[in-house]
Structure 1
Amino acid sequence: MAFQQGLSGLNAASKNIEVIGNNVANASTVGFKQSRTEFADVYANSLGGGSASKIGIGTKIAAITQQFTQGNISNTNNPLDVAINGNGFFRMSDNGTITYTRNGQFQLDKEGFIQNATGQRLTGYPMITSPSGERTVNQGALVELQIDASDIPPRTTTSITGPLNLDSRAEVKDPALFNIADPATYNHATPIEVFDSLGNSQSVQLYYLKSDVTASPASTTWTVMASANGTSLGQVGTMEFDGSGMNPTMTLSPLSIPLTSGGLSPMAVNLNLTGSTQFANSFSESELAQDGYAAGRLSSFSVGADGSILGRYSNGQSAVLGQVALANFRNLNGLQPLGDNQWAETSDSGPPIVGVANSGGLGVMQSYRLEESNVDLTAELVNMITAQRVYQANAQTIKTEDQIMQTLVNLR
């Protein structure tokens, strides 16, 4: 009878409106994935087999599936707001219970763990420090990520490197007359800051004197002098150029810097000026660098595209503090929704495929970003109107059947 068909239609339309209402309610929920109602028709079984005139007995809800399409990415001012652009879920731990989410709104707790609004902790790969002091990520067992806010220790300068150009037009200077306080006794000078074992800054100055020129074969010798903290260290080497002005023969000794700051003294710093030239151009340095730095405090951090958490320190250095892990599943609709923007693994979803962002089919991470809900509010409101009309039509079916029944009752 039409009552049964109409009643099934009312129930299905009512559930559809509930699904649409839930989508609309979560249009502003970060990382929310909209749901869709999927219907199926219903036929009664027959002992005699199929029939060309068989009439169905209504409809039913076959499934309510979530649509894991990408939501829009919006900007924020929080470095721990992280969006996934592409496939994958954040892997969260609640005292060892693992759940998965697309909501990247994170903050630090008092112990430095990265957690969400409900206190679940983000998991990933930890940072380890090698015996040489280098910080690297251990992509082994997954742990709850914790930001190490301790100071980065100083690193003693062991070498000064950098090619430079010495002006071939410079006048010859007598090394015996060299005086760090008299610029007329040298041709060029280069200051550079180095660091001792305690991270104290030491001021080093390198001086270049054009000390000898021969015509045949063409050869020019430059004497390299040095000073540290205003005290002359004397001659530390020579650089001899041929007529090409390139690939000099260098004899450079390490700088022996006496310290009064409490660091390990004397401090030995090697000189490496490979690539230097002698052309008829003004004195210049392509890049003069040293490998030491002072102690530094963590000043800021951000998450890179591959999930690496990069810390920046007050001494200008940066170091990886850990790496966020992502997980993906073969059957996303097999995941169990838990609420609070969380899903759980099930036998239908299959085991998680865990890796780092931007590899193995996983999406990239974007710091200072959030993935918005993928609900299309306009489309949902149109769907709601359609569902309302379907509900009304099924109600009309019941009303019509009632009128037919009333007509039969009134027959005489």
Structure 2
Amino acid sequence: MSFNIALSGLNAAQKDLDVTSNNIANVNTVGFKESRAEFVDVYAASLLASGKTKVGDGVLTADVAQQFSQGSIQFTNNALDLAVTGNGFFATVPELGSLETSYTRAGQFKLNADNFVVNSQGGHLLGFPVNPDGSSASVSLSTAEPIRIPTASGAPTKTSEVDVRMNLPAGDSYIAGAPGNFDPDDPLTFNNSTSVTIFDSLGDSHVMTYFFVKDDPNTNPNEWMLFAAVDGKPINLVDDSTVPPSATGIIGGNVSGPLQPTGGVGGARLTFNASGDFISQIPTLADGGIITEDFTNHLPNGADILQRVQIDFNLDPTGPNPNEPTQFASNFEVTALNQDGLAVGRLTGIDIGTDGLVRATYSNGTSQPLSRIAMVNFANEQGLTQIGNTGWKESIVSGEALAGEAGSGTFGTINSSALEQSNVNLTTELIDLISAQRNFQANSRALEVDNQLNQTILQIR
């Protein structure tokens, strides 16, 4: 019996050495979780045996339990390096369409040839689908999909509105013959001008210029005419309430409605009071805008010719508004000139928030939410089945996978450009290694003594 006891001690010491050696070997493995050998004594007795004199039967390895304590965070320069701070695992599948989900804390991700986010073993990182505002459409693991970074450029947006704020100089001189002699190519026929870059439906840029002509102060005091041109070619300004969106070719001045035709170009009239406040405009819309005719004669590149641009002066009928134009005795000054169109954008970067939201940014200043990294937790982490490559599988002991968003509930947050290091404490492991070695030596000595006793007994005559 003493042989068996000593042998069980040797086996236990060897197991302890193996576990400690494995921890030391993986001290630099990203996402690795150290293990601990747990032992129990063996005690067997029959119903009628005397428990007072029963000696134990040795030791048994009860479990090699993984310790899921937090590892230290190491920061990197790769946005796809991810570290979880707190509870939770990344979920991956070996290939598209697979339901064989595995879980890991190792966040060394990269892009494969098809622009999917994968780890070193080719496992596809799963994420929840998101709405245009970035909120998760679903947080069920069954709806999670492999995350893919788009290669397409950001879609362009045609300009539909331009917001203008400026000061028109009250002291400007009236140009004889104005506004009837307006010519965009002759700077002597207008007082001031300013330009803004607008975009068509294909993302091509165009220069839209606004010309301001002071009207005759004897007949129309404190009034200015506004004209517009796209790429140097005049474009008519119309009243959206009287001219249908498809109207084209409004050139020459014979148009119904409040359009102010002058010199063959349809313009708009801006009126100020004696205090320099903006009080009215013709054409007048409910929201204070002035609309161009469609771009039939201005877009030769195949873009949407029905595009129309609203010029918004933020007219407030109730009184002066700081967003309105003014007519003060100062220089011509443009304080705001903003348009809502966008050029074609190329992918410039990927941002991953602490909540796991993956967002693509484009060169045209836009960004687009792509997915939200799925986080998974378990009732009993130590019950997970190890599969190698710092990965685990769900088991009966671990309980079912519980999916959710990073930073919500019991789930930890995600750090981009960071990796979670192994949670192995090398100093502690070296001390454990010495202890296991001493334990092995002691049990070896016990086995040797048992052998000597047996030899002594056999030599008795």
In structure 1, what is the equivalent of residue 205 of structure 2? 201
For residues 9 and 286 of structure 1, what CA distance do their matches in structure 2 show? Answer: 85
For residues 431 and 223 of structure 2, what CA distance do their matches in structure 1 show? Answer: 85
For residues 170 and 385 of structure 1, what CA distance do their matches in structure 2 show? Answer: 92
In structure 2, what is the equivalent of residue 144 of structure 1? 146
Conservation of the 8 A alpha-carbon contact between 1:173 and 1:209? no
For residues 7-406 of structure 1, what are the structure 2 equivalents within 5 Å?
7-48=7-48, 51=51, 54-94=54-94, 95-126=98-129, 138-139=137-138, 141-161=143-163, 164=165, 166=167, 171-172=171-172, 174=174, 176=178, 182=187, 185-186=190-191, 189-206=193-210, 224-233=226-235, 235-236=267-268, 238=270, 240=272, 251=284, 252-256=289-293, 258-265=298-305, 267-274=307-314, 275-276=322-323, 288-403=337-452
Q: How far 1:372 sits from its partner (Å)? A: 1.6
Q: Which amino acid aligns with 1:254?
A: I
Q: Which stretch shifts more, 328-337 or 307-316?
A: 307-316
Distance 1:207 1:13, change over 3 A: farther
Q: How far 1:195 sits from its partner (Å)? A: 0.4
Q: Which stretch shifts more, 295-304 or 338-347?
A: 295-304
Conservation of the 8 A alpha-carbon contact between 2:374 and 2:404? yes
TM-score, normalization by structure 1: 0.82
Deviations 1:126-149 (CA, angstroms, capped at 9, x unpaired): 4688xxxx9986437222223331
In structure 2, what is the equivalent of residue 216 of structure 1? none
Conservation of the 8 A alpha-carbon contact between 2:170 and 2:330? no
In structure 1, what is the equivalent of residue 254 of structure 2? none
TM-score, normalization by structure 2: 0.74
Distance 1:344 1:211, change over 3 A: farther
- SS of 2:9's equivalent? helix
Q: How far 1:71 sits from its partner (Å)? A: 1.6
Q: Which amino acid aligns with 1:117?
A: S
Distance 1:284 1:33, change over 3 A: farther
For residues 241 and 73 of structure 1, what CA distance do their matches in structure 2 show? Answer: 65
Distance 1:136 1:87, change over 3 A: closer
Q: Which amino acid aligns with 1:390?
A: N
Deviations 1:27-48 (CA, angstroms, capped at 9, x unpaired): 1111111111112222222424
Q: How far 1:80 sits from its partner (Å)? A: 2.3
Question: Between the two proteins, what is the percent identity of the paired residues?
Answer: 36
For residues 269 and 134 of structure 2, what CA distance do their matches in structure 1 show? Answer: 35
Conservation of the 8 A alpha-carbon contact between 1:172 and 1:212? no
RMSD of aligned alpha carbons: 3.6
For residues 138 and 373 of structure 1, what CA distance do their matches in structure 2 show? Answer: 34
Number of matched residues? 399
Conservation of the 8 A alpha-carbon contact between 1:165 and 1:282? no
Q: Which has the larger radius of gyration?
A: 2
Q: How far 1:352 sits from its partner (Å)? A: 0.8
Distance 1:330 1:268, change over 3 A: same
Gaps of 5+ in 1: 214-218
Deviations 1:48-87 (CA, angstroms, capped at 9, x unpaired): 4784565433222221111112222223333322222222
Distance 1:385 1:220, change over 3 A: farther
Gaps of 5+ in 2: 236-265, 315-321
Q: How far 1:346 sits from its partner (Å)? A: 0.9
Q: How far 1:231 sits from its partner (Å)? A: 3.6
Q: Which has the higher strand share?
A: 1
Distance 1:66 1:196, change over 3 A: same
